Structures are given as structure tokens and as C-alpha cells.
Chain A
Amino acid sequence: MSERANLDTGASWTHPLYATLEKLPGVSLGLASVDDLLAWGLTNSLWVFPMATSCCGIELMAAAASRIDLDRMGTIVRGTPRQCDVMVVAGTITVKMAPRVLKLWEQMPEPKWCIAMGSCAISGDFYRNLYSVIPGIDTVIPVDVYIPGCPPNPEALMHGLLRLQEKVHARRRGEKVDRDPNPDLIRVTQPAIPRVCERDLGRNDELSKLQADQAGRVTEEQMCPAVDVPFEPPPPATPVFAPDFEGLLRELGVAVAADGPPLVPVERHFEFARRLKELGYRQLVSIVATHWLAGTGRAGKEEGASEHLEVAYVLRTVGPGSRLATWAVRVAPDQPIPSLVPLYAGADWQEREQFDLVGARFAGHPDLRRLMMAENYPGHPLRRDFPIDAHCAPWR
């Protein structure tokens, strides 16, 4: 399991002035009540730094809004970490975001606390084993209170804050307060969703079996039993195209396929797109690159097929009776495809994304950088041979 951060927050830190005060003779008698006063002040004015990244952030907003109203207990949300006491990590923290969270945490003045709100912040949840998500914020910064839920209700957040108040009080009284256990670690089993097939895990059989039994992970056969398919397999789809698109296909001699969009030769791809734009397909909807390993292809198994990329393009006309045009280009993994940026400015980010995630090369793109992953990320995660949990290594 991961190495959890061992720091304890808010417990050992006292203001230097207070420390000097404590040494004066006779003062200690009065300090008991002063202690109470200080703890009362600390707990009743917890200003929140919203480290809100995703869904839980919306519930954090809802908690501050009129129905729950965190201001009732003196909790307000401030935008700068310097003025905050509690960092509420609400949402999934990605590998790209984690260093920023750490930096913001370090910018908060002591005494400070951290609340992990929601299962993504607690453990990564669904995204736990994925290449871009860290398994819980407590692998980066110490957490005082965990609020489980996906997302937790605003009431739960308030409960979490009250729990934090309790802990702060107890610490001030000198009681020993254990860190709250990560709810995800107490659980015997992982979340029951069988997410990872055994073939993805290069572990020895016994361990895998044990884990599969304990963790709800099942083998591919168990997961996808080949019996009792409730639906009749549908008849092979006959592709329906808009008349003008079909006309263009006929004119250029592009064959229509039943199992996917028509394949346009890569040399004529740009010309094809230009003709479509002239036909009124002015909106670039989507670019989808897919990686096919050797021996696989559109129909699943394809004997003799070499490793290749298939890049599908979706265009649309606007206005009533909107028509779609879809076509695909099939290239070797390193072969460049003419970029559509000169035709459609929107292809810019789309092509960058497909380059980043699938590794498709686009010739003529003005600025082919990664879009989602960090600049120096190795590999292209949506390739089929890319392990799903490849980049969690520092946090495992």
C-alpha cells in the first residue's frame, strides 16, 4: 500500500508568543482557561480554502449556499491560502494537480487542517488505479477528517467540520487524538466494481486469486459470462448517409463499409474534408483516434492486420435537419496525417488531444503539443498496450 504522509497537523504548533507566556511563573494556572478560550476561537472560525476540483466542489458550494449555510458556524470561504485554516480537498486530484495542492498547502499558515471530502479525495475511488489520478490526497498532505460519499451531501461536510472542531478541542485539552483512519483502508474489500481484468495485472497467480476473492476482482470469464445474452444480436447495420455526403463518396470512389465509417485514403483526406466544408459541413464535431494492435481491426480479430491507427472525423451541418458526415483514415502508428487546422480552427485542440492520448501524428499542425498530460509525460495513455495504472508509481 502507499506510504501515507506521517505529519500530524495543528497538534504540535503553538504561537511563539504563547510559548513564551507559558514559561512565566504563575501564568500556568490561568492558562487552562486561556487554553479553552484559544481553542474556542480556533474552532469557531474555521475559514475554508476550497481546493475544489470537481463534483464535490459543487457540493462545497451548496454547503456555503443558503440551505446549509456554513456561515452559521462562522465558516467562510476565502480565496487565498494565506487566510485559511482548513483546506477542504473536494474532488479528484490528478498527477498533474498534486504538486499544486502541496504548494497551496504549504502556503497556508499554521495551525491548519485538511479535510478530504468525497471518495476521490480519500482514495481516488473509481479512478484509483488509473494512470493520471493519485490514490487519495493523504498520500500528498496529511488529512485530519475524512468525509466519505460520492459526493458527500452538504450536511456531511458540516458534520465533518464539527468533527474537526471536536478534534481541535480535544488536542488543546491535551488528550491524545489519533488520526482518523482512512475509511477506504478500513474496508476489507475494494469497491465491488470489478474494474480490472486479470490480464492487466502482471502478478503471480496465487496473489491474484486471493485478491480477486477478497477485492471483488473477477477474471474476464467471470466478469463477462458467455451465457444468456438477453439481447438478440442486431442485424448488420446498413449505414445511412446524407445524400450529399453519399454523392461525394461515390464521386471520389470511396467504399462504404458496414462496420464503421468509410475509409478515405490518407493522401486524399485533406481534399475530402475541404469538399465537405464546401458542401456546408462547417462544424467540426469530433476527431477520434483509435489504436489497433497487430491482428486486430474493426471487426475485432483481423488476421494479418498490422498495428495501426484509425482516425475518425465527425462533421456536421448547422440548422434544421442537421446532417452528419463521418469518415476515417487508417495509418501506421508513426505515419503523419494531414492536419485539418487550416480548414477548421477547432481541429487545433482536437488534434492535440488525440496526439497526446493516442499518439496520432498530424502533419502541418502549427503547435502539436500535449493537451491533457504534462509536457514530459512518457507514452500515449490511450494506446491499447499502455498499462492502465502506469503512472501511479510514485504513489504506490
Chain B
Amino acid sequence: MLQTLSVERRVDPHLSIDKYDPEAELLLLHMGPQHPATHGVFRMDLYLDGEIVVKAVPYVGYLHRAVEKLCEKLTYSQITPIVDKNDYVAPMTNEQAVNMAFEKLLAIEVPRRARWIRMIFAELQRIASHLLWLGTFTMDLGGALGGGTTVFMHSFREREMIMDLFEEVSGCRFHYNTHTIGGNRHDLPAGWAGRVKEALAVIEARISEYEGMSLENRIFVKRTKGVGVIEPGLALELGLTGPMLRACGIDHDLRRDAPFHAYDEVAPRVIVAEGGDCLARARVRLGELKESVRFVRETIDSIPEGSINGGRPIKLPNSIKIPPGQTYVGIETPRGELGTYLIADGSANPYRLKIRPPSLHALSALPYVLPGGTVSDALAILGSVDPIMGEADR
């Protein structure tokens, strides 16, 4: 009923509010930067006509931590633990993205075992990240004191199991600092693969429970179906990636389309859904959760033996100097394409390191999709975007 606006003609986000009907008496609602459902410090100014959003103006930058400037002052090996903090829900993917850029300019071949371990880590991070998304999304739909919290608690219970596995590898619950240039810092502990499979068996058994509480729940479907529709053309233009793009019916996944790590040897299925609405995004994420669990369980035994770190130990990691050059590396993280544009000038610090955050691109879709929905829809859409502000603002 309320959702007819954005599909037919594209909303112009730059249209000044003065151009709107002066008779409408719009209410300006500042949502954020501190709000229970803004996933950190995101702010949107909603112009409301009753409950219906007429215009939405998002603001980012409340968590701008100047990571890019800091990286210009750091040596290459010091950057890894810093970028960890960007996407703090799947920190390892950050490490992988920057280290792969360094390796590409240094022309270092990463050993096969290290690539496999990186792949397994990336998939486990995806599981942890999507579990967190499920919890926070249902909480946006169902309130902090209601059924949403129940899903949240259950998905966190499973996320803790993944955290335990990573803690065993690196000693940290997150911010692992486990990737280095040319390989990994930590090898897998003895018996780790078995424990991963045990944990994943538990999670796999419980996924149907989550689906029952979300996709099969009629209230969930009612709240998400047809809400926040992004048309495929707009999604491509905005540079949406990951589940946001695949929910628009576009079959694009860097794990298959531009393989990195060991995805050229084995690749998970790509989950695509039609519709471009919140329900499609939920379908894609839950499908990916399921697929990643299956994928890790099936591939973890095939991790090849060998060295994890370039064949020779790096003696003075601080002294690595990268010859002048520029490169771009993009990898598929739980939120989409996380890219690193590296400009080296031959010194021991990068001259410029631009991180391409998928969350920022995803958030830039909001002014297009929010108008026409209600305030409740606005938060459902924001939750389905799954933004991580640390990454969007850097």
C-alpha cells in the first residue's frame, strides 16, 4: 500500500526539502547517531508526513577514525591490526584484503595451505557475521523487549561457538591480527578441524530453528516483503555488492567471479534471490549462512599440508618496502566487495591506502528506498542493509 513509490520512478535524493509541498507540514525526525536500532553511530534525518517518510537524508562520519591517514604513517606489517577494527563483525576479512594488496604489489606467492586456511577463516567469519545480522535484524523488527531479542540471544549463542574457535587459533575473540604479508601468523591447532565440524553440526541443526523464527514467521514476512525494494539497475549503479546485490537477482559473487584465496579450487554455491526487498536480503543471508556451514564442513578436511608463511620466515617485517606501483584488490566479505586500493611509493609506508567499504555503498541506497515507507519500514530497511559503521566511516 505504501510501497509503490520507489519502484516506478526513482526518488531524487538531491531534491531540496523546500521543493516539497509546503502545506504538508513535515516533521523532521533525527534518528541517530545514538539510537537503539542504528547499528552504531549512523544518523538519518527523516522528513515525515504522519508516519510516512517523505525524504531521508543519511549522515555518516560519526565513527570516522582516520584509518587511511593512520595507515600512511605505519609500516606495512603494522597495518594489519589497525584495519582489523574496520569491519568489526568480520575482522579477518579486513586483514585479508589489505595483505592481499601488499602481496600483489610485492608479487609474493602465498602458499596453498595458507590460502586454504584464509578461505576457511573467511567462511567462518561469514557465519559469525550473518548470525549477528540475524539477531540485530530481528531485534529491529521485534523490539529489544520481545521476540526479536529471543532470536538475537539464540544467534549469539551460536556466534560464541565460532568466537571460541577463533580464540583457539589466535588468542583473541576478535581483532585477531592473524594474517601477515605472505601467509598467516598462526597455524591451526591440533584437532581444530574436528572441533569446527562439531560446532558447525550444532549450528546446522539449529538453522531450521532460525528459519522458523524468521522466514517462516508470518509477521516477519509481512514486515519485510515488498519493503525497501531496490531495482537491479539502481543497485548496480550504486555499487551495491554482496547480499544486497544478490537480493536484487543479480548473480554476482567475487568468490566465483574473480576467485581469490582457494576459491578457484572449490567454490560455494552463490545464493541469489529475486525481489530486491528486505525479505530477499534475508533469504540471501540465511541461504549463505546455510551454504557456508555446509561448505566449511565439507572442505575443512581437505586443507593441504605445507607451510603457512611464504616458505621462508619474514625476519624484519617492519622493513618491508614495496616498490612504487598501484593496485586494487577486492574480496567478497559478508557485506560485499571489500576493496583495497594501494599506492606504494617505494618507502616502508603506503603512500595512500583507500579501503572500499561495502557498507558505505549499501547505505548510500537509503535515500532512494526509504521514501514512501513508514518509520518502522525505515528501520527494517536499515537492518536489512547490515551496515557496520566502523567500516563505512573508517
Binding site for B on A (CB under 8 A): 51-55, 57-59, 61-62, 65-67, 77, 79, 91-92, 94, 96-97, 100, 104, 126-127, 130-133, 150-151, 153, 193, 195-197, 200, 223-231, 233-237, 259-261, 282-286, 288, 290, 296, 298-300, 312, 314, 316, 318-322, 324, 326, 343-346, 348-350, 353, 357, 366-367, 370-374, 381-382, 386, 388
Contacts and interface: CB of A to CB of B under 8 A. Distances in A.
A234 B65 contact: no
Nearest to A52: B40
20 contacts: A53-B389, A92-B63, A96-B64, A100-B34, A126-B70, A130-B66, A151-B175, A224-B318, A231-B108, A234-B323, A237-B325, A260-B325, A312-B326, A318-B257, A324-B328, A346-B239, A357-B68, A374-B61, A382-B352, A388-B73
A229 B36 CA distance: 50
Interface stretch (B151-159, B185-193, B211-219, B280-288): B151-159
B106 interface: yes
B74 A195 contact: yes
Contact of B160 (A67, A371, A382): A67
Nearest to B349: A224
A94 B73 contact: no
A151 B91 CA distance: 12
A370 B60 CA distance: 10
Interface residues of B, number: 93
B33 A372 contact: no
Interface centre among B35, B69, B74, B78 (most CB of A within 10 A): B69
Contact of A79 (B40, B144, B337, B345): B144
B132 A259 contact: no
Contacts of B361: 346, 349
A200 B74 CA distance: 13
Interface centre among B256, B258, B326, B330 (most CB of A within 10 A): B326
B266 interface: no
B348 interface: yes
Nearest to A344: B237
A132 B65 contact: yes
A121 B368 CA distance: 35
Contacts of A65: 152-153, 156-157, 160
A54 B63 contact: yes
A94 B314 contact: no
Contact of B156 (A57, A61, A77, A353): A61
A193 B78 contact: yes
A42 B107 CA distance: 61
A286 B153 contact: no
A345 B257 contact: no
Given A224-B348, A284-B237, A230 B312 contact: yes
B174 A55 contact: yes
Interface stretch (B46-54, B82-90, B220-228): B82-90
Contacts of A316: 330, 337
A17 B325 CA distance: 71
Contacts of A298: 324, 326, 343, 345
B250 A372 contact: no
Contacts of A228: 315-316, 319
Contacts of B390: 54-55
A225 B62 contact: no
Given A58-B89, A132-B64, 10 more contacts: A53-B41, A79-B144, A231-B108, A290-B351, A300-B346, A318-B250, A319-B251, A348-B13, A349-B361, A366-B14
Contacts of A62: 156, 159-160, 163
B51 to A, nearest CB: 19
B113 to A, nearest CB: 20
A283 B236 contact: yes
A372 B64 contact: yes
A318 B252 contact: yes
B237 A282 contact: yes
Contact of B66 (A55, A91, A133): A133
A197 B157 CA distance: 44
A4 B86 CA distance: 28
A290 B352 contact: yes
Interface string B323-351: 11110101000000101010101111101
B238 interface: yes
A53 B108 contact: no
Given A53-B63, A97-B41, A372-B60, A223 B236 contact: no
B173 interface: yes
A286 B341 contact: yes
B118 interface: no
A164 to B, nearest CB: 21
Nearest to A152: B173
B258 A322 contact: yes
A236 B23 CA distance: 65
A203 B288 CA distance: 54
Contact of A231 (B33, B68, B237, B320): B320
B36 A79 contact: yes
A300 B345 contact: yes
B64 A322 contact: no
A386 B352 CA distance: 14
Given A54-B40, A230-B314, A150 B175 contact: yes
B354 interface: yes
Contacts of A224: 75, 318-319, 321, 347-349
Nearest to B36: A79
B234 interface: yes
A230 B183 CA distance: 14
A350 B356 CA distance: 10
B385 to A, nearest CB: 14
Contact of A127 (B65, B159, B239, B241): B65
Contacts of B75: 223-224
Contacts of A261: 326
Contact of A200 (B73, B132, B240, B323): B73
**6 closest residue pairs by CB, A with B:** A234-B107, A65-B156, A224-B348, A346-B239, A55-B88, A372-B61
